[in-house]
Structure 1
């Protein structure tokens, strides 16, 4: 099945998210209560809602998207390239620009979106934040009424499971066992909010996000038993 998909029809992506507000105290009383209720199971009695707020970026109701990085293959004669670019800045603009990309360049039936753990996180997070920001959901993210085999999504973590639903395999672990250079050579997801709010270093986050996109593409190449990308084939635009 994977061998029959043309690589140039796949849009690889990754998102970075942070708490919608820098501090728990910035939330109004109602939202603080809702956050406490939402996270009660995860926190147990170990953390107060305020202590747990640094993790708010994993919930679309309390987080926001600060970067969407995408990558796609191009082929000209025997020359293969992988082009990577990022959308960042104000969240509504990120979502609108990403939606335009899907509608104008990756909206055809043969086009597929691909990420790691993207079916559980990236795809639904993007769609939920689009609703919150009153942005129409593009067809590639609108799953209403679709049968499972009609959903145009690939998930490298799901592919690695081979039907085993009891396990979570991180991208860092998967790249390690497959002999792919690790994308986690600077920061990891738990540090993104600090880099964003305290260091205000958006460039560092973009680099991190784009490395994840490249790593997902490399994983899919390994699944297809194809040569991994080399640095000269990767173009940042």
Structure 2
């Protein structure tokens, strides 16, 4: 199934997002009204838009990216390595740095991007935030006019579906059933908002994001029936 995708041609990635402001009251009245309208169908009748605001990070129109972590396979003296690195901090700068990575080091036709549920979330979120920040969208994220077989994206959740469109499987569940060390040994996505705005601990979020990248790569290895990474093969740079 995946024989035609050499692991060294794949850039694995994950993003962490938060609401664009620390609290609903920090938004202007127009943005508050737009958020209330956008989330009307997601909220129960007794939940206000303000009470729902901690989830605003799942929408590119109301959230922002605080970390993009990537990982790639390389070979040094014949030994396999999986190198991870992260772009973090001010959103426009991290997006520019990530775009530069794609444009200069990951722009050949055979190279692909891969994430977990990334076709639904990470890839479009990054592209939308680039447009909002007036950044040219790299060719690897610009899907306009592309045929399905021309899209340079892989998604471990989609690969696990085997064509079942209704089947959502979290990365935590998938690592569990495939006997892969869980990346969720400290925090999970629902805690990122509080850790970022209240605890102001971005370093903790970066570590969490890089662990998800490693876990996604491990799932891909299992799907290809290759040996999992061990700790000495993983290098954060």
User: What does 1:161-200 correspond to in 2, within 5 Å?
Assistant: 161-200=161-200
The CA distance in 1 between the partners of 2:167 and 2:52, in whole Å, is 24
What TM-score does the superposition give when structure 2 sets the normalisation length?
Answer: 0.99
Equivalent in the alignment of 1:110: 110
User: In the TM superposition, what is the alpha-carbon distance from 1:36 to its structure 2 partner?
Assistant: 0.5
Equivalent in the alignment of 2:122: 122
Q: SS of the residue aligned with 1:41?
A: coil
The CA distance in 1 between the partners of 2:83 and 2:184, in whole Å, is 20
What TM-score does the superposition give when structure 1 sets the normalisation length?
Answer: 0.99
The CA distance in 1 between the partners of 2:64 and 2:168, in whole Å, is 24
User: In the TM superposition, what is the alpha-carbon distance from 1:77 to its structure 2 partner?
Assistant: 4.5
The CA distance in 1 between the partners of 2:195 and 2:180, in whole Å, is 26
The CA distance in 1 between the partners of 2:77 and 2:69, in whole Å, is 27
Equivalent in the alignment of 2:32: 32
Mind listing any 5+ residue stretches in structure 1 that lack a counterpart? none
Equivalent in the alignment of 2:145: 145
The CA distance in 1 between the partners of 2:46 and 2:82, in whole Å, is 44
Equivalent in the alignment of 1:234: 234
The CA distance in 1 between the partners of 2:88 and 2:77, in whole Å, is 33
User: In the alignment, does 2:61 pair up with 1:61?
Assistant: yes
User: In the TM superposition, what is the alpha-carbon distance from 1:128 to its structure 2 partner?
Assistant: 0.3
The CA distance in 2 between the partners of 1:157 and 1:26, in whole Å, is 36
Aligned pair count reads 237
Equivalent in the alignment of 1:157: 157
Equivalent in the alignment of 2:134: 134
The CA distance in 2 between the partners of 1:52 and 1:163, in whole Å, is 33
Runs ≥4 residues deviating over 6 A: none
The CA distance in 2 between the partners of 1:48 and 1:188, in whole Å, is 24
User: In the alignment, does 2:57 pair up with 1:93?
Assistant: no
Equivalent in the alignment of 2:216: 216
User: 1:140-179: CA deviations, max 9, x gaps?
Assistant: 0000000000000000000000010112100000000000
